Amino acid sequence: MAQSIDIQGGGLFQIAEPEAPSKRRRKPGKAIGIDLGTTHSLVAIAPNGAEPRVLADAEGEVLLHSVVSYAGSGAGSGAGSGATTGQPVVGRAARALAVEHPEQVLSSVKRFMGRAPKDIDFSHPYRLADDAQVVRLDIAEPGQPPRYVSPVEVSARILEVLRDRAEHELDDDVAGAVITVPAYFDEAQRQATKDAGRIAGLEVFRLLAEPTAAALAYGLDRQGRGEHGEGLFAVYDLGGGTFDISILRLREGVFQVLATGGDSALGGDDFDRALAGHLLGLAQIDAPSPAQQQELMQAARAAKEALSEAEVTTVTLERCGLGPTQVSRAQLDALILPLVKRTIKASKAALTDASLAKTELDGVVLVGGSTRVPLVRALVQKAFGREPLADIDPDKVVAYGAAIQADILSGSEREGVTLLDVVPLSLGLETMGGIVEKIIPRNATIPISARQVFTNYSEKQTGMTVHVVQGERELADHCRSLARFELRGIPRLPPSMARVEITFELDADALLTVTARELMTGVKQSIEVKPTYGLSADEVDELVMDSLDHAREDFAARNLAEARVEMGRVMLALRTAIDEVGAIEGMLDPTEREQILAALVECEGVMQEADHADPINEAREQLEKRSEPFARRRMERALRSGMAGKSLAEIESALAEEDALDERRGAHAAEVIDPQ
């Protein structure tokens, strides 16, 4: 019975262990953002709401080459022992060893993250273990038995260097990290990245899509239009070796990736190669030596960078025997035009995938060092019909966004941001009588999912309005209304027989998805809302205090509402019964019928008058007592007709089913769904 507030369990109690508190020890301002890139990686911090800044190594270098050298690290160890005697070398020093130890110096391992050997469809200079489920790279010196490392371990080495850099800067342990991943990374690739973080001794607060990080760095999350803070953005990311285009939708402070595209083998290095090829032609060399090749590439890169500022630059190639030669921006543009056009084509395809016209975009963000090339900017501007956002250093913008997100997750307060990873106010829905049923309690750690089964109130009910509310008060009117939708197509079933399962799923970005599903027919309806959107910390405090101030009257109001609902249910059932069987002889004599009808009228009056639950509950008890003989006769009749011609076993099994049903109906407390 649900007519009043129950406390479950009047028996004996044991002291319980408190529910496991969030493992995360918040240390505001001690979290870092990491851009774990294919060619370069960076670490940035934005402590306690400060502007983000990237951290440099002892030489003042902020970009860490994503290269790890195991050369010599296993040398001298006995065959098969697998013991590592030296530490792997990371970064520039590792890259310097690459020519000498091509198989022990690993670069661009990001391409192998979370992949199986059969997924590797690009060329690379490494030996892979082919028996494994996941890629493992053989780093043994020539003539030695195989020694394998996984891409996860290699990435962990890079992350360790960045973590050390941050701990040196913060003069403290790092509380946690946000690591960026490409938007197209699948679950396995994301998990591999998380694992790498864990091996590096980092608590990975969250993985963040690289384009989303760039958008956060520009503060685009706070620039949405309209009531729901909406916006559409394109993020054009041209790095050294990869090109990614992402179309993002902003809604209520959350970015959603609508479409991605790109080319995993197209980047600024290809610009260098194109220019190097041109210079090679000028030097009239057919087959350059490795030394000449190195000189060419360095000169080409330097010239490309110079031409981002100047119209003309001078190149001299001593080893190739090329005297001072002028290269103009127009020449470079002509050489790289086909390459840049490929990125534009992919960008347009991504827009088409997202079913958008370029005019619908609210902004375009440039990411990656190669977007400094003037031709790239010009063609992007032309393709999207607007000037791209480029005032943040395109090499650092992703790390900045990660640092801002990490700072928020560490518990810092930032202006205009209330996104925390606990639920600031309870989330629930309105049930009969305007009563709030809380599904996800306040301060639950997100992500979290919970579900609860609801039932119908009357046989005529074929739809259910799901009204999602937020707040601590007992009545929906006093809570914040978040969303409302209708589930239609509930089969006609006697009261309390239909089963509608409501699921609340709050994801890591505090985006709430509410789904209602009728369990018999499977009809389903869902809606997405952002519960933290537009609430400041002060407002949250106020709403919580409000619920304390009103606690007593809220309980009274809730009791009253519940008493009304229960009274209504009993009256409806009685009226239906009178309509159905009242005419059958011997079921209800006229006097009794009059008495019950009079009692019903009286109850109606009490319902209208009462401002307190007690008189309604008393009137309902009177009504139930008054109609009890009628109910008993109906029951007996039903039993007689039901049992006619049935065996004892059938009756027993029917009763057992009824019991099981009762149990199920009773057991519909909100249940937290285990993420596993």
Residues in touch with other proteins (CB under 8 A)? 2-19, 431, 435-438, 441, 452, 474, 547-548, 551-552, 555, 558-559, 562, 668-670
For other proteins, which is the closer residue by CB, 4 or 536?
4
Under 8 Å between Cβ of 204 and 194 = yes
> Phi and psi dihedrals of 338, rounded to 5?
-60, -35
Residue 115 token pair: 């992949």
Burial of 74-111, coded b for 16+ CB within 10 Å and e otherwise, reads beeeeeeeeeeeeebbbbeebbebbeebebbbbbbbbb
CB of 625 to other proteins, least distance (A): 15
- Secondary structure (DSSP) of 40-73: EEEEEE-GGGPPPEEPP-TTS--PEESEEE-TTT
For other proteins, which is the closer residue by CB, 530 or 558?
558
Residue type, 604: E
For other proteins, which is the closer residue by CB, 435 or 543?
435
Under 8 Å between Cβ of 380 and 236 = yes
For other proteins, which is the closer residue by CB, 432 or 483?
432
CB of 673 to other proteins, least distance (A): 16
Place of tokens 């389903």: 524
CB of 6 to other proteins, least distance (A): 3
CB of 440 to other proteins, least distance (A): 13
CB of 5 to other proteins, least distance (A): 5
Give bridge partners of residue 468 from the DSSP assignment. Answer: 429, 483
For other proteins, which is the closer residue by CB, 17 or 187?
17
CA distance 548 to 653: 49
CB of 48 to other proteins, least distance (A): 23
For other proteins, which is the closer residue by CB, 2 or 655?
2
Instruction: Count Cβ atoms below 10 Å from residue 666 Cβ, excluding itself.
Output: 11
CB of 553 to other proteins, least distance (A): 10
For other proteins, which is the closer residue by CB, 12 or 79?
12
Instruction: Count Cβ atoms below 10 Å from residue 390 Cβ, excluding itself.
Output: 19
CB of 19 to other proteins, least distance (A): 8
CB of 549 to other proteins, least distance (A): 8
Any idea what the Cα angle at residue 596 is, between residues 590 and 600, rounded to 5°? 140
For other proteins, which is the closer residue by CB, 407 or 430?
430
For other proteins, which is the closer residue by CB, 38 or 559?
559
CB of 20 to other proteins, least distance (A): 11
> Phi and psi dihedrals of 472, rounded to 5?
-105, -5
- Report the relative pairing of strands 463-470 and 480-488 from DSSP bridges: antiparallel
Residue 117 token pair: 């050997």
**Who's near 182: CB < 8 A, 6+ residues apart?**
209, 210, 244, 260
**Who's near 377: CB < 8 A, 6+ residues apart?**
366, 371, 388, 390
CB of 103 to other proteins, least distance (A): 52
Q: Directed axis angle between helix 590-609 and helix 551-581, to 10°?
A: 160
Give bridge partners of residue 525 from the DSSP assignment. Answer: 516
CA distance 323 to 291: 17
> Phi and psi dihedrals of 93, rounded to 5?
-60, -35
Under 8 Å between Cβ of 146 and 138 = yes
Under 8 Å between Cβ of 252 and 402 = no
For other proteins, which is the closer residue by CB, 96 or 432?
432
Q: How far is CA 162 from CA 42, 399, 465, in A?
A: 7, 12, 51
CB of 599 to other proteins, least distance (A): 22
CB of 545 to other proteins, least distance (A): 8
Under 8 Å between Cβ of 562 and 2 = yes
For other proteins, which is the closer residue by CB, 387 or 621?
621
For other proteins, which is the closer residue by CB, 92 or 668?
668
Under 8 Å between Cβ of 299 and 317 = yes
> Phi and psi dihedrals of 54, rounded to 5?
-90, 155
Burial of 185-206, coded b for 16+ CB within 10 Å and e otherwise, reads beeebbebbbbbbebbebebbb
CB of 156 to other proteins, least distance (A): 33
For other proteins, which is the closer residue by CB, 128 or 670?
670
For other proteins, which is the closer residue by CB, 571 or 670?
670
For other proteins, which is the closer residue by CB, 601 or 667?
667
The H-or-E segment that residue 232 falls in is strand 231-238
CB of 40 to other proteins, least distance (A): 43
Q: Give the up-direction half-sphere exposure of residue 534: CA atoms within 13 A in the CB hemisphere.
A: 15
Per DSSP, 389 falls in state B
CB of 667 to other proteins, least distance (A): 9
For other proteins, which is the closer residue by CB, 2 or 330?
2
Instruction: Count Cβ atoms below 10 Å from residue 297 Cβ, excluding itself.
Output: 17
Under 8 Å between Cβ of 44 and 395 = no
Residue 37 token pair: 């890139």
| Count, residues in the chain | 676
